[in-house]
């Protein structure tokens, strides 16, 4: 389950923010902001992706770097909150 979430998120980041650049070594704990992978608009794209893909309604208080600023943090956040959209 965890692997699936992480891989989905990783694919989204590579396609949407790195434009398919698979040569980029995206470490699980790398900061998405410090590495210029997401900007303020990118965070909103990330939120929309999480809500659409994982059926999570994100409150304003959830939208913080502690939850979203690395692949590992995003995966952990989704894992803690996820409710499957479909069976």
Only one residue has tokens 């979203």, namely: 68
Which range touches another protein (CB under 8 A), out of 5-13, 49-57, 62-70, 72-80? Answer: 62-70
One residue of 3, 4, 29, 40 binding another protein per CB under 8 A: 40
User: Which residues, numbered 64-83, are part of the site for another protein (CB under 8 A)?
Assistant: 64-66, 69
One residue of 1, 4, 25, 61 binding another protein per CB under 8 A: 61
CB of 37 closer than 8 Å to CB of 18: yes
Here the contacts of 43-52 (C-beta below 8 Å, separation 24 or greater) are: 43/68, 45/16, 46/12, 46/74, 49/12, 49/16, 50/74, 50/77, 50/78
Q: Under the rule (CB under 8 A), what is the footprint of another protein?
A: 15-16, 18-21, 33-34, 36-37, 39-44, 60-61, 63-66, 69
């Amino acid at each position: 389950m965890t692997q699936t979430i992480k891989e989905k998120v990783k694919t989204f980041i590579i396609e949407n923010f790195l434009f398919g650049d698979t040569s980029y070594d995206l470490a699980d704990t790398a900061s998405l902001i410090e590495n210029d992978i997401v900007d303020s608009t990118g965070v909103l794209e990330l939120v929309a992706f999480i809500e659409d893909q994982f059926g999570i309604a994100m409150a304003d208080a959830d939208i913080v770097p502690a939850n979203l600023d690395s692949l590992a943090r995003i995966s952990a956040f989704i894992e803690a909150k996820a409710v499957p959209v479909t069976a």
